[in-house]
Amino acid sequence: MSVTILKHCPGCGKCVRPGVCPTNAIAINDGKAVIGEGCIECGLCISACPIGLIKAEKKPAEVKKSDGLKEPEEIKEPKYQEDLSTEQNREEEQHEQTSTGS
């Protein structure tokens, strides 16, 4: 997980109040909240932002099968080959039928 603050933070300062971040990793820089290196990704600051600008994101390695991804399917012979061969057989049969007169 990584915790980030969206760019349009107006810098209200609520997330930098004492008691929000256990490692004091959030600071206001140039009027915006920024998360520094001390962040332990606990997620406690997320609920501190009144306008929901602090987001937790899963890193790609943390995306699991249980998150809705499926195992890749086994590669099979394309189905159209099968269809073509049956169609060819049908044409051959019809040709035989017309040539034998039945």
Tell me: does residue 27 bind ligand SF4 (CB under 6 A).
no
Are the CB atoms for 12 and 45 separated by under 8 Å?
Answer: no
Among 23-31, 57-65, 66-74, 86-94, the segment contacting ligand SF4 (CB under 6 A): 23-31
How far is Cα 49 from Cα 9, in angstroms, rounded to an integer?
Answer: 9
Q: Where are the beta strands (DSSP E) in 1-102?
A: 2-5, 26-29, 32-35, 54-57
Residue 23 or 86: which CB sits closer to ligand SF4?
23
Q: Which of 2, 4, 29, 41 binds ligand SF4 (CB under 6 A)?
A: 41
Tell me: does residue 13 bind ligand SF4 (CB under 6 A).
yes
